[in-house]
Amino acid sequence: MSSVATRNGTQAQAAAGPGFTDTLAAEWAKLRTWRAIRWSFALAIVLSIAMSALLGLVIGATYDDWPASEQAQFDPILYPMNGIVASLIGFAVLGVMAVTPEYGNGLVRLTFTATPRRSRVVLAKVLIVTALTLVGGMASAFGMYFAGQAVFSTADLPTESVFTGDAMRAVLSIGLLMPVFPLLGLAIGFLTRSTAAGITGVLVLLWAPEIFGPLLPGWWQENVVSLLPGPAGDSVIIGHLVDSRTFSDPAVGALIVAAWLVGAIALSVAMVRRRDA
Amino acid sequence: MIEVRGLTKRFGETLAVDQLSFQVQPGIVTGFLGPNGSGKSTTMRMIMGLDNPTAGAATVNGKDYRELSAPMHEVGALLDAKAVHGGMTAEQHLRWVARAGKVSPGRVPAVLELVGLEKVADRRTGGFSLGMMQRLGIATALLGDPKVLMFDEPVNGLDPEGIRWVRNLLKQLASEGRTVFVSSHLMSEMEATAEHVIVIGRGRLIADGSIEALTQGSTDSYVRVVTPKANEFAGVLEEEGGRIRREDGALLVRDLGAPAIGELAAARGIALHELSPHRARLEAAFFELTRDSVEYQSREDGASPDDVAVTAAALAQEEETR
Ligand SMILES: Nc1ncnc2c1ncn2[C@@H]1O[C@H](COP(=O)(O)OP(=O)(O)OP(=O)(O)O)[C@@H](O)[C@H]1O
Ligand SMILES: [Mg+2]
C-alpha cells in the first residue's frame, strides 16, 4: 500500500465548503434510492387513478337504478376525485419517510456531520418532498379526472371538460395543495423522529376533521375545525362546488394552509438545531 | 488536533461525561479506552457537533465542529458502522456523502479500493457483514482525505486479518501526520496500535499518557530478581526505594529499573541468578485504573477465549471471583 489517500486538488479547492445546492443534491441522491419513497410515490399515483376509474365503473353500472334525486346530484367533477384518498395517504407517508428512516438507523448522524448546518438538511428535504408531491399530485389529479371522464363517457353519463373554470380550479388546486400533508408529515417526522409516530400523527391530522368535525357543534366547526389544514385546503379545492360550515373563503383557506406550513417547518428547523442528533 | 476542555454531558440523571479535558495530537495513534458506558461514544458525538455539551467545549483544529466550513475535508469519523441505509449500494452511499461534503466524486472508487470493497460496490449494504460495514464506515471517514480521523470501535466485528488491516491503516494514517483518535475494547489491540492512550471511567479522565508510562505505573510492571541472598538483597533494595513482593523465593521489585538493581548487586558483591524486567500488559494497567469506575459488572459469556474483547467489566468480574 503506498499512500492511504492521495491528495486530489489543491488545498484551496479542498477548503471550499459545500453550499445549499450540494446539500440538496446529496439529499436527492439519498432519498431517490429509498424504496419507501419510490413505493409511496408510485402507489399514491397509481392507486388514486385506479380508485377513481373503479368508482366510475361502479357508478356507470348502477346509475340507471339510482333514484332521480340522487341522479340529479351526480357531479362529473367531484365524483372522479374520490381516489384522492389514496394519494393523500401515499404522499403523506412519503413526507414522513423522507425523514424518519434516518433516525431509525442512525444515518442521520452521518447526515449532520456531513452538513452541520442542519437547517439546510431540513430545507433540502422540504424542497424535495414539495417537488415530488407537486408533480405526483398533478399526475394524480389529472389522471383521476381523465380516468373518471373516460369511464363516464363510455357509460353515457354526463361528463365535463377539464377546461371549464370549475373543473380546472378543482384539479389544479388538488395538485398544488398536494404537498401540504407531506410537508406536515415531514415536520412531524422531524419532531417525533419515529416512523410509527410520524405516520400516525399526519394521518390523524388529515382525517380527524373529516371524521369528528361533523359531530361537533356548529360554532366549533366554523371557528376551530375550519382552522385545520384539511378543511382550509378543501375550501380552496372544492369550496366552489360544495358547502360546508368548516370552509373558509378560498383566500383565507390558502393563508391558513400557508401558516401551518411555515409554522411546522420553522418548528422543525428550531428543534433539529437544538436537539442532540 | 482535537481538544476537549471541561467537556460535560448529562442525560437526565446520568452524568455521561464529566469535566473531561484532553488533547489528541497529530502524528500518532491515540487510543480512547474506558469500560462500557464510560462515555466514549458520547464524547465523540460531542466532538462531531452531534450532541450539545452540557458544559465545556470540544474543538477540532481550534474550531467548533459546527463552524467548520468544509467539515468533511477536515475531519472524518466512523461513529456507528451500522448507520447505513440497507437499500443503498456501497457506492450509492459513498456518493451521497461525498456530494453532501463537496468531496470530489473521484474519491468514491478510491476509498472503496482502499478498504477492499471495490468488488461489492454495487451490492446493497443490507446484505453486508459487520466486517464489511466497518470497512464501509472507514471508507466514509476517509472520503474527504481529512487530517483528523476518529473511529469508534473500528475493529468491532472484524476477523484477525481485518484487525491487522485496521491496525496497519491507523498507523499509516498517523505516520502521514494525521490525528488519529480511536476507541476500542481490545486492550491488546490498543497496545499494538496506539502510542498514547486516554483512559476514562464514569465519564471522568483517569489517565492520559503514553502506553509506556501507563504500564510502568502498574503493579504488574516489575523486575524479577532471583538471588541466593534474597533477604539481604531485599533490604538493600528497599533502602534504595524499591518496593518488593516475594513470589516463590524470587523478589518482584517495583520502582527500580533492572540496570540500577544490577549495579546494586555488583556493588555489594551479591550474585544474581535472574534479573528480568517484566512489563505489565496494558490490560492489567487498564483494569487497575478503571477498577473503581466499572459501570456494568456483567460477565461477557459470549466472548471468545483467546485474547479477544476483554472488556473492563469482564476483567473486573474475573478479579472478583479469584
Ligand atoms: N442519548 C442518550 N440518552 C440517555 N443516556 C445516554 C445517551 N447516550 C448515552 N447515554 C448514557 O451515557 C453513558 C455513556 O454512554 P456511551 O455510549 O458514551 O459509553 P461508551 O463508553 O461509548 O460505552 P460502550 O463501550 O459500551 O460503547 C451511558 O450510561 C449511557 O447509558
Ligand atoms: Mg460506545
Binary contact (B110, A6; C-beta < 8 A): yes
Of B75, B85, B95, the CB nearest to A101: B85
CB neighbours of A54 closer than 8 A, spacing ≥ 6? none
B140 contacts in chain A (CB < 8 Å): 110
Residues 114-153 of chain B with CB under 8 A from chain A are 114, 140, 142, 144-145
CB contact under 8 A, A107 and B84: yes
Closest Cα in chain B, distance from residue A277 (Å): 5
Question: What is the C-alpha to C-alpha distance for residues A116 and B69, in angstroms, rounded to an integer?
Answer: 9
Classified as helix, coil or strand, B4 is: strand
Give the residue on B whose Cα is nearest the Cα of A1.
Answer: B114
Do B87 and A6 count as a contact with CB atoms less than 8 A apart? no
Q: Does A29 map to a domain?
A: yes
**Amino acid present at A7:** R
> Which of B48, B97, B145 is opposite residue A5, by nearest beta carbon?
B145
Residue type, A247: F
**Cα–Cα dist B251/B225, whole Å:** 5
Distances (CA, A) of A70 to A66, A152, A264: 6, 16, 41
> Taking CB atoms and an 8 Å limit, are A4 and B173 in contact across chains?
yes
- What is the rounded average pLDDT of the residues A136-157? 94
Give yes or no for B96 touching A (CB within 8 A): yes
In this structure, the strands spanning B148-152 and B204-210 are unpaired
Ligand 1 proximity of B156 Cβ (cutoff 6 Å): no
Q: What is the mean pLDDT of chain A?
A: 91
Q: Could you give the count of Cα atoms lying within 13 Å of B284 in the half-sphere of its Cβ? A: 12
pLDDT > 90? residue A228: yes
pLDDT reported for residue A4: 52
A72-112 tens-digit pLDDT: 888 888 888 999 999 999 999 999 999 999 999 999 999 99
Task: Confirm whether A229 is domain-assigned.
Answer: no
**Looking at this predicted complex, what is its ipTM?**
0.88
CA A274 to chain centre: 27
Using DSSP bridges, classify how beta strands B179-183 and B148-152 pair: parallel, antiparallel or unpaired: parallel
> Does residue A163 lie within any of the structural domains?
yes
B48/A113 Cβ within 8 A: yes
Which residue of B51, B70, B100 is in closest CB contact with A14?
A: B70
Q: β-pairing, B204-210 with B196-201?
A: antiparallel
Cα torsion B172, B174, B179, B180 to 10°: value is 60
Interchain CB contact of B85 with A (< 8 Å) = yes
What domain range is A202 assigned to? Answer: 20-215
CA angle B44, B81, A189 (to 5 degrees): 80
Domain spans in chain B, listed from the N-terminal domain onward: 2-215, 222-278
Contacts of B71 in chain A (CB under 8 A): 17, 113-114, 116
Return the residue in A113, A128, A271 with the most chain B beta carbons within 10 A, the one to mutate for interface testing: A113
Enter the C-alpha cell of residue B77.
469519523
The sign of the torsion formed by the CA atoms of B68, B173, B79, A95 equals positive
Please give the full DSSP string across B46-68, using - where no structure is assigned: HHTTSSPPSEEEEEETTB-GGG-
Just give the CATH number of B2-215.
Answer: 3.40.50.300
Sheet holding B196-201, edge to edge: B75-78, B148-152, B179-183, B29-33, B196-201, B204-210
First-to-last CA distance in chain B?
Answer: 42
Q: How far apart are CA A75 and CA A158, in angstroms?
A: 8
What distance in Å separates the CA atoms of residue A126 and residue A184, rounded to the nearest whole number? 10
Of the bound ligands, which one is closest to the alpha carbon of residue B80?
2
Beta-ladder partners of B254: B243
Dihedral of alpha carbons B231, B220, B296, B301, sign: negative
Atom of ligand 1 nearest to the CA of B295: 29
- Is the CB of B49 inside 8 Å of chain A's CB atoms? yes
The C-alpha cell that represents A118 in the structure block:
442542519
**Between chains, do B65 and A3 touch, taking CB under 8 Å as contact?**
no
Class of CATH domain B222-278: alpha beta
Q: What is the pLDDT at residue A203?
A: 96
- Cα A192 from chain centroid? 18
B34 lines ligand 1 (CB under 6 A): yes
What confidence score (pLDDT) does residue B279 get?
A: 78
Instruction: Return the ligand 1 atom nearest residue B42 CA.
Output: 18
For β-strands B148-152 and B75-78, DSSP reports them as parallel
B45 CA: nearest ligand 1 atom: 18
CB contact under 8 A, A110 and B97: yes
Contact (CB<8Å) B50/A101: no
Query: Looking at chain B from residue 217 to 236, which residues have their Cβ under 8 Å from any Cβ of chain A?
Result: none
pLDDT band at A32 (very low <50, low <70, confident <90, very high): very high
Residue A65 located in a structural domain: yes
Residues with C-beta atoms within 5 A of ion ligand 2: B 41
- Considering only CB atoms, which chain B residues are within 8 Å of A6? 110, 145
Sign of CA dihedral A18, A20, A26, A30: positive
State the Cα–Cα distance between residues B253 and B234, nearest whole angstrom: 9
Q: Which of B269, B179, B273, B266 is nearest to B224 (CA)?
A: B273
Give B90-134 pLDDT, tens digit per residue.
Answer: 999 999 999 999 999 999 999 999 999 999 999 999 999 999 999
Q: Is B36 in the pocket of ligand 1 (CB under 6 A)?
A: yes
Residue A56 CB partners (closer than 8 Å, separation 6+)? A79, A80, A147, A148, A150, A151, A152, A155
Q: How far apart are CA B128 and CA B277, in angstroms?
A: 46
B63/A contact by beta carbon, under 8 A: no
CB contact under 8 A, A30 and B173: no
Please, is A234 exposed, middle or buried when counting C-beta atoms within 10 Å of its C-beta (0-12, 13-18, 19+)? Answer: buried
Whole-angstrom distance, CA of residue B42 vs CA of residue B152: 10
pLDDT above 70: residue A2: no
Q: How many CB atoms lie within 10 A of CB A20?
A: 14
Ligand 1 contacts CB of residue B218 (under 6 A): no
Would you say the CB of residue B201 lies under 6 angstroms from ligand 1?
A: no
Per-residue pLDDT of chain B (322 residues; tens, 9 = 90+): 999 999 999 999 999 999 999 999 999 999 999 888 999 999 999 999 999 999 999 999 999 999 999 999 999 999 999 999 999 999 999 999 999 999 999 999 999 999 999 999 999 999 999 999 999 999 999 999 999 999 999 998 888 899 999 999 999 999 999 999 999 877 777 888 999 999 998 999 988 998 888 777 777 788 999 999 989 999 999 998 889 999 888 999 988 888 999 999 999 999 999 999 887 777 777 777 777 655 544 444 333 333 333 344 444 443 344 3
Sheet strand arrangement including B222-226: B243-247, B250-254, B222-226, B274-278
pLDDT at B309: 33
User: How far, in Å, from the CA of B24 to the mean position of ligand 1?
Assistant: 21
What pLDDT is attached to residue B156?
Answer: 83
Say how many domains are in chain A. Answer: 1
Q: Does B284 touch chain A (CB under 8 A)?
A: no
Q: Which ligand sits nearest to residue B43's alpha carbon?
A: 1
